[in-house]
Amino acid sequence: MSSSREQSVADAFAELSDTLVADFDVVEFLHTLAVRCVDLIGVQAVGVMVADQRGGLRVLACSSEESRLLELFEAEAEAGSCADCYAAGRPITVRELDPADPVRVAGFRAVHALPVRLRDDVVGVLGLFATTPGAMSDADARTARALANLTGLALAQHHAVEYRQVLAEQLQHSLTSRVVVEQAKGVLAELLGLEMAEAFTELRRFARRIGRRLSEVAADIATGDYPPDPPEPAAGRSRMILICRFDRLVLRQLRAAIRAAVTRHGLNMSQTEAFTLAVHEAAVNAVEYGGGTGQLILWRYAGSLYAEISDDGPGLPPGYRISEEPPGLAPGSSRGLWMINRICAGVDIDSSRAGTHLLLRYPLLAAVSGWPAVAPRPRAGGEVPGGTTR
């Protein structure tokens, strides 16, 4: 094993075990593990499957969320090398797939299936697809085995006396989380016009951006904002109010949709106008300076309304800072941002050449008078994540 390879294996294990220590999300963790697995081993696709306690295997994570690959792993989990590996409880390698095998048709040549063990039980399978035929090298096989063991640890965090009962609960929980993630992917794919793999990437980006767990954000997106559920979400949860893409032609409708949505969430008339203005202004900026189209996500969480307005680039100039002083009357993005900054309690910019994500927070209980309503400002100016300043 070359030293650079040793280093990357060590780095990956350090990253993964750091995640395991914290309060982690099993679906996201196993996705990361599957991606690292592809990076480290000479294989091109990885699927993580777990026992569903009904005698079968279900796919919990994939190195790519592309629908076609997910379906290949689903088929493998039902009847294929991975299903055989689970039934036999030992590794199974198919060095050269049959030309008619759907996995071969999809462009792969070999399958390596490793059992995921926990004490005496086989709780899942790590499935590896390679585009080159033949067995894995010894080094790759060792790394794969270590990753399979790590998968087992991730699936059972507690080691209680009634270990199998707790394991059963946790495996079922992870399977439910996976279903919720699929439902949320469907919602995002439809509302944002994305492919399933892109929908997963967006879900993951958004969850990280707001610092919440993937499965919880997925559950909030999949649940949506429907009566008779109260607009106020349960503690620790958020209510997703509006998710859409927009362009110049629909800006007017967008404004009406924002107003209608936030009215339901208890803002008074001047607050509604102010917040609608801020979000709309950000959307106008996205259209004017961010490539003509944009994306809005509007939600309620922990006593505040939040809006994230995103565009597709080219990003704000490096070191950009929102002026605290009123700008001149000339039209331009700085005026829009200045006003948004005045209205909202929190403005957070994450900008790169790939696009700008503007995150706005507006407290629901702010005592406001006059117009434009100015919410309390916890802090003035300062550094924000994403390399730029507001």
Partner 1 sequence: MADGAHRDRVIRLVATHGPDVTRLCDACVAELPGVDGAGLSVMTAQRGQHVRHTSDRISARIEELQLTLGEGPCQDAHSGGQPVLATDLGHLAWRQRWPMFTTEALKAGAAAVFALPLHVGVVRLGVIDLYRSEAGVLAGDELSEALAFADAAMELLLAEQMPGTGERLFTQHAAVHQATGMVSAQLRIPMAQAFLRLRACAYAGEVGLDEIARQVVDRRLRFTLPEVDQQP
Q: Which residues bind partner 1 (CB under 8 A)?
A: 52-59, 67, 70-71, 74, 77-79, 83, 87, 160, 162, 164-166, 168-170, 172-173, 176-177, 179-180, 182-191, 196, 219, 222-224, 226, 228, 244-246, 250, 253-254, 257
Neighbours of 345 (CB within 10 A): 17
In this structure, are strands 57-62 and 45-51 parallel, antiparallel, or unpaired?
Answer: antiparallel
Residue 134 or 236 with smaller CB distance to partner 1: 236
- Measured from the CB of residue 192, what is the shortest distance to partner 1 in angstroms? 9
Residue 185 or 300 with smaller CB distance to partner 1: 185
In this structure, are strands 45-51 and 121-130 parallel, antiparallel, or unpaired?
Answer: antiparallel
For the residues of 43-112, what is the DSSP string, one character each? -SEEEEEEE-SSSSEEEEEESS--HHHHHHHHHHHHSSHHHHHHHHTS-EEESS--TTSHHHHTT--EEE
The one-character DSSP state at 200 is: H
Q: At what angle do helices 138-155 and 3-21 cross, to 10 degrees?
A: 0
Question: Contact, 184 vs 63, CB < 8 A?
Answer: no
Residue 55 or 99 with smaller CB distance to partner 1: 55
Sorted by sequence, the CB contacts under 8 Å of residue 327 that are 6+ apart come out as 334, 335, 338
Structure tokens at 45: 């696709």
- Measured from the CB of residue 386, what is the shortest distance to partner 1 in angstroms? 26
Residue 139 or 251 with smaller CB distance to partner 1: 251
Residue 222 or 309 with smaller CB distance to partner 1: 222
- Measured from the CB of residue 362, what is the shortest distance to partner 1 in angstroms? 21
- Measured from the CB of residue 241, what is the shortest distance to partner 1 in angstroms? 12
Residue 62 or 136 with smaller CB distance to partner 1: 62
- Measured from the CB of residue 226, what is the shortest distance to partner 1 in angstroms? 5
Question: Contact, 246 vs 296, CB < 8 A?
Answer: yes
| Spatial distance between the Cα atoms of 131 and 145, rounded to a whole number of angstroms | 20
- Measured from the CB of residue 275, what is the shortest distance to partner 1 in angstroms? 17
- Measured from the CB of residue 64, what is the shortest distance to partner 1 in angstroms? 13
Residue 188 or 340 with smaller CB distance to partner 1: 188
Closest-CA residue to 357 (of 296, 292, 305): 296
| Spatial distance between the Cα atoms of 219 and 314, rounded to a whole number of angstroms | 32
